[in-house]
Amino acid sequence: MVPTAAPGSRPRIERLFAPLLPFLERWARGRLPSYARRRMDSGDLVQEAVLRALRRAGELDQLNPETLRSYLQTSILNRIRDEIRRSRQGEVRNGPLPARPDPGRGPLDDAIESEDRRKYRSALLALCEEDRMLLIGRVDLGMTYEELALVTRRPTPEAARAAARRAALRLARRLGEMEDDARRGTATSGEDD
């Protein structure tokens, strides 16, 4: 009879993670845009994701290898997004000082902008994960189509542009539906008065 390692033990954890490392390193290669590699490269991101997962080894050793692989891929993608965001913030900090606030803007303008952001976020959450990733990359992070193609594994920047355009159309459709729902709700509540 072959002795088995207890859940959470070092041999069991090594058996879970060791086979995944080569796959994850191949999978992550090329996903981090070159401008965001100042601090770390894709290999570093894989190591960091695995180290973070090791801290939760007691919870993760209950997962099957496929679920663990998916968990680690998601963790690596999140780290890639963090590095892209961090590199963009560094560019802003090192750039010229922002202009003074627009004297024509008031609290009402800020409130309208805040409501628009809330509606955008709500509509965004109603989309599938791939559409959200495309739109967040393009709109929130300001990625170029070349960068978006790298992160989303599209074959060309043109393919990323077309996918982002379709996602934006779905977002616009969802925003329109939300607006229609709000109008119907207002009309209905007005009839009750």
Helix axes 65-94, 20-28, angle to 10 degrees: 40
Which domains does the chain show, CATH number per domain?
A: 10-92 (no CATH), 115-188 (1.10.10)
**Which range is most confident: 40-54, 81-95, 148-162?**
148-162
Mean pLDDT within 37-51 = 80
pLDDT of amino acid 128: 92
Q: Are 38 and 85 in contact (CB under 8 A)?
A: no
pLDDT at 99 over 60: no
- Mean pLDDT, all residues of the chain: 76
pLDDT over 90 at 162, yes or no: yes
pLDDT of residue 38: 72
- 34 pLDDT band (50/70/90 cuts)? confident
166 phi, psi to nearest 5 deg: -60, -40
Under the banding of pLDDT at 50, 70 and 90, the label for residue 98 is very low
Record the pTM: 0.44
In the block, tokens 């750039």 appear at 95
- Give residue 186's pLDDT: 62
Exposure b/e, 163-176, CB count within 10 A at least 16 = b: bbeebeebbeebbe
